[in-house]
Amino acid sequence: MKVAVLTGGGDCPGLNAVIRAVVRRGEQHGLEVMGIREGWRGLLDPPMHFRLTREATSGTLHLGGTILGTSRTNPFKKPANGPDIVMRNLKNLNVGAVVAIGGEDTLGVATKLSSMGVKVVGVPKTIDNDLSGTDLTFGFDTAVQIATEAIDRLHSTAEAHKRVIVCEVMGRHAGWIAVHSGMAGGADVILIPERPIDIDKVCEHIKNRHRTQNKNFSIVVVAEGAKLGSKEATTTEKLDEFGHVRLGGIGLQLANLIEAQTGYETRVTVLGHIQRGGTPTAFDR
């Protein structure tokens, strides 16, 4: 029997370690492992695949990204007969099971295919750590480490210039990265999607810190999905195939409001995709 493995959605550190583990375990059980390129797109027409061997995955344990490539393709969105195409190609390729490595969107597709009779193993991958059924997802630990190192560096420049610095980290619906890195990095304010931002309270907290604690700088960590009022900050209104807008800009909005209401010089740093890249931590391998 052949087992297909794919990576979908945003990349994160640790994907290659999972792929490598699938290949090695598959060989132990006499299974041929097939790599599907670019997520679910690789099972549409024409199918994109190649045989994965121990040699092909050798030396990949410490590499970021994914040797399979990835995409945010949703076969249940387009083409209209996408699920039928996937089912047909799995049959033609003689694939008996699929290992889908991804977050809520990729595993959502896997769940639907499972209900259609496909044997599926879902591997929880997302730096946001927002999947139920598991305490920690692949990629989260590395993202927190990267964000914490950035916050550590921002402390010295904030203090040197007597500034408030807003650090925007990833996290669409969940503030795990903001909370963990903010606490580890000694942030003075941490703002997450789960709780709407009260800008007056934020500014009062910063002013009180400067007045009563004799501090002349502050660090604010905010998740990209945190809301000022009822709307998320977005860089575009265009939706991807899973109905998501591209988030971004909350850090700048927050910095402008803090400077206007406190009078303290404020700057913003957006960590962005650096949180997804590079060598995974030991935990994410």
- Active site positions, annotated: 128
How many other C-beta atoms are found inside a 10 Å radius of the C-beta of residue 239? 10
Instruction: Give kind and range of the element (H or E) at residue 232.
Output: strand 231-232
169 backbone φψ class: left, alpha, beta (φ>0; ψ -120 to 50): beta
Nearest-angstrom CA–CA distance, 78 and 146: 36
Cis omega before residue 46 (within 30°)?
A: yes
Instruction: Give kind and range of the element (H or E) at residue 210.
Output: helix 199-212
SS3 label, residue 95: strand
Query: Could you tell me the two tokens for 82?
Result: 């996408």
Nearest-angstrom CA–CA distance, 115 and 192: 34
Asked if residue 177 lies in contact with residue 127, where contact means CB atoms within 8 angstroms, the answer is: yes
